[in-house]
């Protein structure tokens, strides 16, 4: 199975880290991976996105225009990439940063209060892990265990004290999707 994903937002929101972490996790699961970052010269505050392709077979090209899933952390990214989701694909967005929600009806649209939940955890910088946890709950590309292993391998040791918070954020993202899918009795 091949998953073609675009992560997009402002620089400084952890968009590239989200894609890179997913890529490392997929490598740990012996999958084929392509990670292609793109960002403006202003980096923090400018636009940033990355294309991640995860597959169980060889990847022919990292350059694609239509995606199985788009994860958008801000309104400009949603506006720019909503059209890039394949029919029957998935669009996950940070509902706290979006004023005009997506309008397509031929895709699955998943709002996630990522920034709000990250603030509740005590660090807005884990919003990307809340979004990644939500993404993994909707699109089972890799396991959360593999993501945590990738984080512990990739993060410099001086940031390892943040691993428990990142795990909480991933689990919160998953939990938000499960809660949204569970009907109230």
Give the side-chain half-sphere CA count within 13 A for 132: 31
DSSP state of 183: P
Second-level CATH architecture of 2-181:
3-Layer(aba) Sandwich (3.40)
Q: What residues does each domain of the chain span?
A: 2-181
CA dist., res. 17 & res. 128, Å (int): 8
| Model confidence, pTM | 0.91
Q: Are 173 and 39 in contact (CB under 8 A)?
A: no
| pLDDT tens-digit profile, the chain (185 residues) | 899 999 999 888 889 999 999 999 999 999 999 999 987 665 556 679 999 999 999 998 888 899 999 999 999 999 999 999 999 999 999 999 899 999 999 999 999 999 999 999 999 999 999 999 999 999 999 999 999 999 998 888 998 999 999 999 999 999 998 776 654 44
């Amino acid at each position: 199975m091949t998953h073609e994903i675009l992560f997009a937002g402002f620089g400084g929101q952890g968009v590239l880290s989200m894609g890179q972490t997913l890529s490392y996790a997929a490598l740990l699961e012996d999958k084929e991976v392509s990670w292609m970052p793109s960002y403006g010269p202003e980096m923090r505050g400018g636009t940033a996105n990355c294309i991640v392709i995860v597959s169980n077979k060889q990847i022919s090209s990292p350059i694609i225009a239509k995606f199985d899933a788009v994860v958008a952390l801000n309104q400009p990214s949603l506006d720019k990439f909503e059209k890039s989701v394949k029919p029957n694909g998935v669009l996950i967005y940070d509902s706290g940063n979006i004023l005009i929600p997506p309008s397509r009806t031929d895709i699955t649209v998943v709002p996630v209060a990522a920034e709000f939940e990250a603030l509740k955890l005590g660090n807005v910088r884990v919003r990307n892990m809340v979004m990644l946890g939500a993404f993994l709950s909707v699109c089972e590309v890799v396991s959360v265990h593999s993501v945590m292993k990738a984080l512990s391998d990739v993060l410099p040791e001086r940031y390892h004290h943040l691993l428990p918070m990142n795990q909480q954020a991933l689990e919160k993202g998953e939990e938000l999707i499960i809660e949204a899918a569970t009907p109230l009795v």
